[in-house]
Structure 1
Amino acid sequence: MKTATRDPAAQHLWRPYTQMKSTPPALPVVSAEGVRIKLADGRELIDGISSWWTVCHGYRNPHIVEAVKAQLDLVPHIMLGGLTHDPAERLAARLAALAPGDLNHVFFCESGSVSVEIAMKMSIQFWINQGVAGRTKFVAFRGGYHGDTLATMSVCDPDEGMHALFGGSLAHQIIADLPVDAASIAQFEALLDAHAGQIAGVVTEPLVQGAGGMKFHAPEILQAMRTACDARGLPLIFDEIMTGFGRLGTMFAAGKAGVTPDIMTVSKALTGGTLPLAAAIASKKIFNAFWSDDPAAALMHGPTYMGNPAACAAANASLDLFEREPRLQQVAAIEAGFERLLPAARDIPGVVDVRWQGAIGVVEMQALPELDSLKAAFVESGIWVRPFNNIIYLMPPFTIDATDLETLINTALAVTRRWAGQHFAGQ
């Protein structure tokens, strides 16, 4: 017997973050170009979230498309165990040159969650290889999100995040409040000292906590974390899966904050939103702990599709575009558009905060009841915006022009105003 569902496609296709029994039908997409998604019924939507923050150069950028096509004609995939290839070698060198400080050693994988797991694994073995036992726990922060795999779930927010159901199945980590001032920084340092023999490393999203609520924090917080970790010899991990590759106005949030972590994870916009690829980029200090005559000191990890040549070709082409085209200036223009237009949201009923940084604009609501109706209203108005929890956010492709950006922002605010008027009347 087939399972009853509102979405005919769900007879076989299990969709993400979705209650399959009650979800509305998904929108069939037939093509995408630039900043527009074309639906099967002929409608076009301005993409306000870059396909989960990946499509930084717009859809079907010809330079990336041609690079992938050329690589498919040569070697679509080859294992990195005992073999190598130019796209991976070149990409690793370019990432090492772009990354801050001495982050020079690039370990590839296929997804952001896995890159964070690899960073955690590196940190634990960093201590083991030096003959130090018992350092297996990580300090992470409330409001944080690092992925949906088992290890990354354990360093997400345990209470407000989406993974509370799995609490009894996850490794027990040390979850702290994100320090925001001198007093909370002192509390953070005291926490590190209280668990001195247990901590393998500290993991955080630099400057913006993404899926946990698009929460911003100051560069000084990361600088304080770096100082505290240095004083105790602790590896500091920056999860730049969302913030990396220009989203905040610099290539990496680490550079914007003037802080070099010991390991930095990247994914999402790495390939310009074309093919799956991620990486954990380690410092010399981390890498040297694995450089040994002892085979047991090697990092025993190897995703099957790590360093996929086609994905690496896409990533190299994406980096070409950052070099040749004014992407960071375009991010600055998006930020200026948010600064000019988003403040109008402050008088919408139910709004508790409006904020922006780089190419991220956020309207925080008291709550978002009947969320599916709001999503549908955005689509009916010609934009693709996908709120979550109590957050309406915009993260368009960097290549969006001024007219489309204004349309996106004004339409999002108009729809939100109408919808909020129905749900927060009298406030």
Structure 2
Amino acid sequence: MTAESPAWLMQGAPHVWRPYCQMKTARPPLPVVATQGARLVLADGRELVDGLASWWTACHGYNHPHIANAIRDQLDRLPHVMFGGLAHEPAYRLARRLAELLPGDLNHAFFAESGSVSVEIAMKMALQFHINQRRIGRTRFLSFRGGYHGDTLATMTVCDPEEGMHSLFAGVLPSQVIADLPVDAASEAALDALLAERGGQIAAIMVEPLVQGAGGMLFHGPEVLRTLRRLADQHGVLLIFDEIFTGFGRTGRLFAMQAAGVEPDIVTLSKALTGGTLPLSVAVASTRVFEAFWSDEAGAALMHGPTYMGNALACAAANASLDLFEDGTWRAEVARVSAALSAGLEPCRSAPGVIDVRVLGAIGVVEFAAPVAVGALCEAFAAEGAWIRPMGKVVYLTPAFTTPDADLAILTAAIRKVIGAGGVEGSGGV
């Protein structure tokens, strides 16, 4: 921090524990005082084009008037009431609309606040699904290398154990079954054999459809999801799709699962659900899963209830965000962003250390052979007018769908310039 840093930053800095960084050595954060469209306005007056849409949430851009007005209106009427024994219109309308938008019979929404918690709820649903049907011993989950599902205790166990962020807890948390994605005949056969051997221990398979996000923006084809659906049915386990990152248009479809034409038994949603305004998540279960809890026995109920479950302000924001998806213009916006990312990032393929450049929908990735220097690169990108925070071995873009062409050009030009100058290697991180 410098003498020009705002007073609130200097006064609060000793008391704020920031995410994903070593507090002793981390560079100071950039103070943001306003947002608009695809831009962050800093305390010193600079504007940065946000290449990440605030960790993939602000899909419609910042300060969208339709979402903002919906939140203001809801605030004046009913900001929040407990969801236990009470109901309100925004949550019930949102649950109905999600059921109408999601494929198949994903009809039953259980609300929470964060994506990690929605994954934990999905895991709890899957475990109790089997318990309620007297299927004893199904206490494990099968997930995949390269996968990431959150930072809470249970979700850490289904992340890639080798990806580094949670490796410190190896041996402390319950072990799960981690496999390779079935991307070819050999890996499909290996997964089939694994399920034949251990299927009686497994409650559900969990996967991020089409893109493993925080694990490195790793892409796989829709045929993988069809394989997982077939194997889950064959071996009597549930299938959970974690669409917290991929849901709501990011891959070019409203939900990534639609590319494969299959549905999971449970899907988790968050991130862009409220258009980047308020925390909200949901685990949506199929009718088959829901009916396993439908009983005269009190003990068969799902005993879970986050304090801010179904928060009315957040649900109002989510309904307003869904309004913006209804006219379908987002599809053309994502296609435009995708084309700009493809054209703008392709020249990076020849940059030092780069091993791949890939684009899917509004996701653009430049992958390096080794972890990159996150802090130094953030500063270099900011000097070029872009907010881009790499993670692990990738420099990536997930901008708002509404990002103007000129701002997309700033983002891709910043990456070309900075990585072309070399000096990207570092200790990784997120």
Q: TM-score, normalised by structure 2?
A: 0.95
Residue by residue, what CA displacement relative to the aligned partner does 1:97-140 show, whole Å, maximum 9, x if unpaired?
Answer: 11111100000000000000000000000000001111110000
Moved more, 224-233 or 87-96: 224-233
| Correspondent of 1:182 among 176, 182, 185 | 185
Q: Which aligned pairs between 1:232-271 and structure 2 lie closer than 5 A?
A: 232-271=235-274
Distance 1:174 1:84 in 2: 39
Q: Is the 8 A contact 1:145 1:161 kept in 2?
A: no
User: Shift of residue 368 of structure 1?
Assistant: 3.9
Match in the other structure for 1:11? 14
Moved more, 253-262 or 272-281: 253-262
Distance 2:363 2:134 in 1: 44
Q: Is the 8 A contact 1:219 1:256 kept in 2?
A: yes
Judged with a 3 Å threshold, the aligned counterparts in structure 2 of structure 1 residues 362 and 27 are, in CA distance, closer, same or farther, namely: same
Distance 2:200 2:370 in 1: 41
Q: How many residues in Structure 1 have an aligned counterpart in Structure 2?
A: 418
Judged with a 3 Å threshold, the aligned counterparts in structure 2 of structure 1 residues 35 and 212 are, in CA distance, closer, same or farther, namely: same
Question: Are residues 1:377 and 2:377 paired?
Answer: no
Distance 2:371 2:107 in 1: 43
User: Shift of residue 10 of structure 1?
Assistant: 3.1
Match in the other structure for 2:170? 167
- SS for the counterpart of 2:268 is strand
Question: Are residues 1:275 and 2:278 paired?
Answer: yes
Question: Are residues 1:110 and 2:119 paired?
Answer: no
Residue by residue, what CA displacement relative to the aligned partner does 1:339-388 show, whole Å, maximum 9, x if unpaired?
Answer: 22221011101101100100000000122454321110001110000001
User: Shift of residue 168 of structure 1?
Assistant: 2.0
- SS for the counterpart of 2:285 is strand
Question: Are residues 1:345 and 2:348 paired?
Answer: yes
**Backbone CA RMSD of aligned residues:** 1.4
Residue by residue, what CA displacement relative to the aligned partner does 1:276-308 show, whole Å, maximum 9, x if unpaired?
Answer: 000000001100100111110000000010100
| Correspondent of 2:225 among 222, 225, 242 | 222
User: Shift of residue 146 of structure 1?
Assistant: 0.1
User: Shift of residue 324 of structure 1?
Assistant: 3.2
Question: Are residues 1:213 and 2:216 paired?
Answer: yes
Moved more, 240-249 or 373-382: 373-382
Judged with a 3 Å threshold, the aligned counterparts in structure 2 of structure 1 residues 8 and 190 are, in CA distance, closer, same or farther, namely: farther
- SS for the counterpart of 1:386 is coil
Distance 2:425 2:129 in 1: 55
Match in the other structure for 2:5? none
Q: Which runs of 5+ in 2 are unaligned?
A: 1-8
Q: Is the 8 A contact 2:372 2:390 kept in 1?
A: no
Match in the other structure for 2:69? 66
- SS for the counterpart of 1:367 is coil
| Correspondent of 1:42 among 42, 45, 52 | 45
Match in the other structure for 2:234? 231
Identity among equivalent positions (%) equals: 60
Q: Is the 8 A contact 2:377 2:424 kept in 1?
A: no
Match in the other structure for 2:310? 307
Distance 1:239 1:149 in 2: 15
Question: Are residues 1:156 and 2:156 paired?
Answer: no
Judged with a 3 Å threshold, the aligned counterparts in structure 2 of structure 1 residues 367 and 90 are, in CA distance, closer, same or farther, namely: same
| Correspondent of 1:136 among 120, 136, 139 | 139
Q: Name the aligned partner's letter for residue 97 of structure 1.
A: E
User: Shift of residue 211 of structure 1?
Assistant: 0.3
Residue by residue, what CA displacement relative to the aligned partner does 1:152-186 show, whole Å, maximum 9, x if unpaired?
Answer: 00000011241010112211100111111011101
Question: Are residues 1:390 and 2:393 paired?
Answer: yes
Q: Name the aligned partner's letter for residue 262 of structure 1.
A: D
Question: Are residues 1:78 and 2:86 paired?
Answer: no
Judged with a 3 Å threshold, the aligned counterparts in structure 2 of structure 1 residues 299 and 422 are, in CA distance, closer, same or farther, namely: closer
Distance 2:380 2:340 in 1: 23
Match in the other structure for 1:333? 336
